[in-house]
Amino acid sequence: MLDQVRSLGRNGLQTLQTLGRSGVFLFFVIFTSQSIRISFPLLVRQLYSVGVLSLVIIIVSGLFIGMVLGLQGYNILVDYGSEQAIGQMVALTLVRELGPVVTALLFAGRAGSALTAEIGLMKATEQLSSMEMMGVDPITRVISPRFWAGFISMPILAMIFSVVGIWGGMMVGVDWLGVYEGSFWANMQASVDFQDDVMNGVIKSIVFGAVCSWIAVFQGYDLVPTSEGISIATTKTVVYSSLAVLGLDFVLTAVMFGGV
Amino acid sequence: MYSRWIELLVGIFMLAGVGALLVLALQVSGLTLAKGGDSYTIYAQFDDLGGLSVRGKVAMAGVTIGKVSAIELDKKTFSAKVSLTIDSDVDFLSIDSTAAINTAGLLGEKYVSISMGADEQSLKPGDVIYDTQSALNIEKLIGNFATGK
Q: How far is B36 from chain A (nearest CA, A)?
A: 14
B25 and B84 share a domain?
no
Local confidence pLDDT in tens for the 149 residues of chain B: 568 888 888 899 999 999 998 888 888 877 766 555 678 888 988 888 877 877 778 888 888 888 888 888 988 888 888 998 888 888 888 888 888 888 876 666 788 888 888 888 888 888 888 888 887 777 778 888 888 76
Does the distance separating the beta carbons of B7 and A44 come in below 8 Å? yes
Q: How far is B70 from chain A (nearest CA, A)?
A: 17
Note the helical H segments in A108-226.
113-124, 127-133, 138, 144-170, 181-191, 200-222
User: Is the residue at B148 inside a domain?
Assistant: no
Contact between A250 and A187 (Cβ < 8 Å): no
Give residue A155's identity as a one-letter amino acid code.
Answer: P
pLDDT reading at A167 higher than 80: yes
User: Is the residue at B117 inside a domain?
Assistant: yes
SS3 state at B115: strand
Does the distance separating the beta carbons of B21 and A44 come in below 8 Å? no
Mean pLDDT (chain A) is 89
**How far is it, in rounded angstroms, from Cα A18 to Cα A21?**
5
Q: Which residues of B touch A (CB under 8 A)?
A: 3, 6-7, 9-10, 12-14, 16-17, 20-21, 23-25, 27-31, 55, 57, 105-107, 109
* Chain B contacts in chain A segment 124-163 (CB below 8 A): 153, 155-156, 159-160, 162-163
Does the distance separating the beta carbons of B24 and A188 come in below 8 Å? no
pLDDT of res. B34: 55
Compute chain B's Rg from CA coordinates.
22
**How far is it, in rounded angstroms, from Cα A125 to Cα B34?**
58
pLDDT reading at A260 higher than 70: no
Tell me the sheet residues that pair with A82.
none
Q: Which helix (H) or strand (E) holds B87?
A: strand B80-87
B26 and B63 share a domain?
no
Tell me the sheet residues that pair with B83.
B43, B70
**How far is it, in rounded angstroms, from Cα A27 to Cα A35?**
16
**How far is it, in rounded angstroms, from Cα B69 to Cα B54?**
6
Does the distance separating the beta carbons of B57 and A190 come in below 8 Å? yes
Partner residue opposite B17 with nearest CB, options A45, A156, A185 = A156
Q: What is the pTM of this model?
A: 0.77
pLDDT of res. A12: 94
User: Is the residue at B45 inside a domain?
Assistant: yes
For residue A47, give the chain B residue with the closest CA.
B10
Task: Give the total number of structural domains in chain B.
Answer: 2
B45 and B9 share a domain?
no
User: Is the residue at B11 inside a domain?
Assistant: yes
Range(s) of the domain holding residue B111: 39-135
**How far is it, in rounded angstroms, from Cα B66 to Cα B84?**
7
User: Is the residue at B141 inside a domain?
Assistant: no
Does the distance separating the beta carbons of A189 and B17 come in below 8 Å? no
User: Is the residue at B149 inside a domain?
Assistant: no
Q: How far is B6 from chain A (nearest CA, A)?
A: 6
B4 and B22 share a domain?
yes
pLDDT reading at A227 higher than 80: yes
ipTM exceeding cut-off 0.90 for this assembly: no
B26 and B48 share a domain?
no
Q: How far is A157 from chain B (nearest CA, A)?
A: 7
B62 and B113 share a domain?
yes
Beta pairing class for B128-129 and B39-46: parallel
Contact between A201 and A212 (Cβ < 8 Å): no
**How far is it, in rounded angstroms, from Cα A202 to Cα A99?**
9
Contact list, A191 vs chain B (CB under 8 Å): 109
Query: Percentage of chain A surpassing pLDDT 70?
Result: 97
B6 and B28 share a domain?
yes
B24 and B59 share a domain?
no
Tell me the per-residue pLDDT of A92-150, one tens digit each, with 9 for 90 and over. Answer: 999 999 999 999 999 999 999 999 999 999 999 999 889 889 988 888 888 888 998 99
Contact between B122 and B95 (Cβ < 8 Å): yes
B4 and B67 share a domain?
no
Does the distance separating the beta carbons of A160 and B10 come in below 8 Å? no
pLDDT of res. A212: 94
B123 and B61 share a domain?
yes
Task: Please indicate whether residue B59 or residue A65 has the higher confidence score (pLDDT).
Answer: A65
Does the distance separating the beta carbons of A155 and B29 come in below 8 Å? no
B23 and B43 share a domain?
no
Interface test with A, best of B18, B26, B28, B69 (most A CBs within 10 A): B28
How many CB pairs (< 8 A) connect A and B? 78
B23 and B63 share a domain?
no
**How far is it, in rounded angstroms, from Cα A188 to Cα A198?**
12
pLDDT of res. B37: 60
